[in-house]
Chain A
Amino acid sequence: MAVVADAGVLYGLLAVGAGLATGLAGIGAGVGEQGIGAAVVGVVAEEPGFLGKGLFLMLLPETLIIFGLAVSLILMFAWTPFSAIVTP
């Protein structure tokens, strides 16, 4: 059975989904980085030589955003099955 839907609405929903994927992943990474950042500032105050390692540790949770972004990119650019649904 072919589902007939407004292509514009579907595309809009896709865009909303893509936005949510990156945005929510960003919030998650931010929550993760918050704790690390606070700890790193503490350590750097004691021992300035730790700054490099600290900055690097700060980046670890940023992988989460990359995952979210990957999902967004797939939704926006590479999601071909959606065209099959739209055509009646």
Chain B
Amino acid sequence: MIEIQNLTYSYDRADDKVGGLALNGINLTVNDGEFVAVLGRNGSGKSTLAKHINAILLPMGGYVYVDGMDTLDESKTWDIRQSAAMVFQNPDNQIVATIVEEDVAFAAENLGVPPDEIRRRVDYALGAVGMTKFRKEAPHLLSGGQKQRIAIAGVIAMKPKTIVFDEPTAMLDPSGRKEVMKTITELNRKYGITIIMITHNMDEAVCADRVVVVDKGRIIIDDKPRNVFSDVDKMRRIGLDVPQATQIAFELKKAGLDIKCDILDEQECVEEIIKLCR
């Protein structure tokens, strides 16, 4: 479980004339097994928030507890990072070895896991991301989506309870995005890993159980995706999108049709429009 209490943080660079707080009184609890999407504009503070969850950044005010461990307690830093691991945007920056399975083993090796246990974990992690048959390949010959799945496998081999993803699909093509989103969703549903995922892609946020919107260092929305996206006007005011299917329903309603707006994907949109035709 992740518990964030009244968290504030400022980068406070001397040359930063804008200054101000990057995070301004964040309160957030993420329970075990939840899938939370974090949305927000560039500079809203969402990456700053994510970096607090595995102690890359430490609170200036307030507290962050990862499985009951206070991130300010330096003796716990490594345990925290094992419990809440992080996957970044660019897979190329996260791959270190020349063979897939060695890369996946890298983090676990550094934790001092015994060799036979590493073997088990690597096999398990490659299976979880659907990359077993590529275990002997060279990572640089894989596609973007496959490389990102290898990076995720490396994290899974650490057996974390939570994985924090910072825009994991931003650099991928459509099929790569689909692969990675399927993997993330499965890790949550099938393997019970808690997911916190930052994204700009509204279609991806729809997969989560809960959507948190960060704006100017504060959490301004915390609700189910269906409730969040149905308020199209509000999302636009914040500077965020909604899925095109939701937009279509919203525009049709504005044109005077009796259609519900809490639509998340094309399937639901088609069904609702068919109802209108009857």
Q: Please indicate whether A and B come from the same complex rather than being unrelated chains.
A: no
Residues of A within 8 A of B (CB): none
